[in-house]
Amino acid sequence: MSHLQQTVRHIARMRRIPGFLAWNRLFFKREYPSLAREVFGLRFPHPLGLAPVLDRQAELLDSCSSLGYSFTGIIPGDTPINVIADCLSNRRSSILASVELRADGPTEEQAHKRLIRTYSLLYDFTDCFVIDINRQNGLAFGDDIADWTDILNEILDLRLCYEKYRPILLRLPLGNDEEELGRTLEFCLLSGIDGVIAPGLRKVQQVVSHTKGRLPVVGSGSGSSPKEVADMLQAGASLIEIAQGIPGHRRTTVRRILQALDKT
CA atoms in the 13 A half-sphere facing the CB of 82:
0
- Residue 179: give its domain's CATH number: 3.20.20.70
Answer with the residue of higher pLDDT: 105 or 3: 105
> For residue 46, which of 190, 192, 233, 203 has the smallest C-alpha distance?
233
pLDDT of residue 112: 79
Q: What single-letter DSSP state applies at residue 35? A: G
Helices 253-263/226-235 angle, 10° precision:
50
| Composition of the chain by helix, strand, coil, percent to 5 | 45, 15, 40
Does 219 have pLDDT greater than 80? Answer: yes
pLDDT band at 262 (very low <50, low <70, confident <90, very high): confident
CA dist., res. 148 & res. 52, Å (int): 22
> For residue 202, which of 177, 166, 224, 170 has the smallest C-alpha distance?
177
pTM to 2 decimal places: 0.83
CA dist., res. 244 & res. 264, Å (int): 24
E-only strand ranges, 91-250? 97-101, 128-132, 168-171, 195-199, 217-221, 239-242
Number of structural domains the chain divides into? 1
The amino acid at residue 29 is K
* Residues 253 and 64 sit within 8 Å (Cβ to Cβ): no
pLDDT band at 221 (very low <50, low <70, confident <90, very high): confident
- The bridge status of strand 37-39 relative to strand 42-44 is antiparallel
**Tens-place pLDDT, residues 92-150:** 544 455 666 666 666 777 777 888 888 888 888 888 888 887 655 444 455 567 778 88
Domain that holds residue 89: 3-263
Residues near 27 by Cβ (< 8 Å), separated by ≥ 6?
A: none
pLDDT band at 28 (very low <50, low <70, confident <90, very high): low
Angle at 42 between CA 236 and CA 21, to 5 degrees: 105
